[in-house]
Amino acid sequence: MGMKSETKFEKLVTFIKDLYPEYEKVPLHAPVFLGNEKQYLSECIETTYVSYVGRFVEKFELEIQNFTKANYAIATVNGTSALHIALLMAGVESNDEVLTQALTFVATTNAIKYCNAEPVFIDSEREQLGMDPVVLSDFLYKNARIGDDGFCYNISTKRRIMACVPVHIFGHPSRTTEILSICNEFNIKVVEDAAEALGSYEGANHCGLKGDIGILSFNGNKLVTTGGGGMILTNDKELAERARHITTTARVIKQFDFFHDQLGYNYRMTNLNAAVGLAQMENISKVLSNKRKTAQLYADFCRDHELNFFEEKTGYTSNYWLNTIFLKDKSERDEFLQYSNSRGVMTRPAWTLMPDLPMYRNCQQSKLDVARDLADRIVNLPSSFRSNE
Ligand SMILES: Cc1ncc(COP(=O)(O)O)c(C=O)c1O
């Protein structure tokens, strides 16, 4: 390691430790419980409403609707199940193809496979770190055509391309408006993976609501957590009703009988999880503004120390779920990961690109040089709520 980068790394690690004096080992993103979590959980236990019946699921859904301005929100057991159902609601069937990005968390791609559909990987762009609308458009113009039935088909595989899943990675909104207009041209549904993007906006629109359907995650490392949980967001009433039905085993209430009118899933969130989520939502403004301040402090520090920090661009609002820097190359990235993690500051790289995972090795893909370059250089920095703010 060169002298210069060692000094730079040392200063950054010291800066991070000063940001988070409350932690001996600074985590990447720790959950915080600032309000009524315990009280609402006790209420569940005292009333015995711990499972699918109880007041918290509906209240939590309403809270998410109010916050995101979605017409409908359906709570699920996790973000992955929300994605699975969202894809089914978008009409994805066995042997269809679904476009997504190579640089994402594995759950995005797994959900496509759960529908027995084939993922196709598109490159990322540097502005917002999401799917590149230009590469998407080139890919479709070269490889797709609209069939007599009005659907889009992949010329070489002959499979129907039914949906596209852009992802707002680390909470930074992707260029959904452009992606949407290309997909509309090719009659492809857009399912937004906004798992990491609660509190992120493109213009005035909350992420997850530009496309046909979107999803959120409330996993323990997200800025609002329910332990495990997810949410389907949509403005379409009919779609929302179908999603609610299919996530509750497709049960039709007929007095005493158990009757299920189609293949359903046991994907509904429990009252216990929703109780935590509701309490968390009561403090969301506080959490978001705390995280924005942290991002600003990182931005200022990085500017003064020749470090390349990702900042939101005009027209986009990021929740700065995970603050992100770009190092020079993979070897500098690995040196910093080693340096910081061995000194009690948890940092991590971006995900392995999807086609580099064994189960997705043979999937069709666009050129992926930007995604590959980003994956080699990205480091996520500790981004938890700071209690000393
Ligand atoms: C981009 C992305 N998609 C999907 C998921 C899946 O969410 P969950 O872990 O709640 O199933 C996550 C996170 O965990 C994610 O980061």
pLDDT tens-digit series, residues 198-223:
999 999 999 999 999 999 999 999 99
Q: Report the side by side order of strands in the sheet with 323-326.
A: 308-309, 323-326, 378-381, 348-349
> CB–CB of 92/164 below 8 Å?
no
pLDDT digits (tens, 9 = 90+) for 45-83: 999 999 988 899 999 999 999 999 999 999 999 999 999
Nearest atom within ligand 1 for CA of residue 78: 10
Query: Does the fold of domain 37-281 match that of domain 3-33+284-381?
Result: no
State the pLDDT at residue 237.
97
CA-closest candidate to residue 333, choices 55, 4, 5: 5
Q: Which CATH architecture describes the domain 37-281?
A: 3-Layer(aba) Sandwich (3.40)
- Measure Cα distances from 360 to 85, 118, 144, 225, 245 in Å: 21, 9, 21, 29, 31
CA-closest candidate to residue 97, choices 75, 77, 115, 117: 117
Question: Residue 254 above 90 pLDDT?
Answer: no
> CB–CB of 183/175 below 8 Å?
no
- Domain borders along the chain are 3-33+284-381, 37-281
pTM for the structure as a whole: 0.97
- In short, whether 290's Cβ falls inside 6 Å of ligand 1 is no
The CA 304 to ligand 1 mean position distance, Å, reads 34
* 224/217 Cα distance (integer angstroms): 9
- In short, whether 70's Cβ falls inside 6 Å of ligand 1 is no
> CB–CB of 326/306 below 8 Å?
no
State the pLDDT at residue 16.
98
The tokens for 276 are 């935590």
The CA 159 to ligand 1 mean position distance, Å, reads 27
Mean pLDDT throughout 347-371? Answer: 98
Q: Which CATH architecture describes the domain 3-33+284-381?
A: Alpha-Beta Complex (3.90)
Nearest atom within ligand 1 for CA of residue 221: 14
- In short, whether 230's Cβ falls inside 6 Å of ligand 1 is yes
The tokens for 96 are 């269809």
3-class DSSP state of 166: coil
Nearest CA to ligand 1 atom 7: 79
The one-letter code for the residue type at 164 is C
Residue 29 CA, distance from chain mean position? 15
Nearest atom within ligand 1 for CA of residue 83: 4
- DSSP secondary structure code for residue 48 in this structure: T
State the pLDDT at residue 1.
54
Mean pLDDT throughout 123-146? Answer: 98
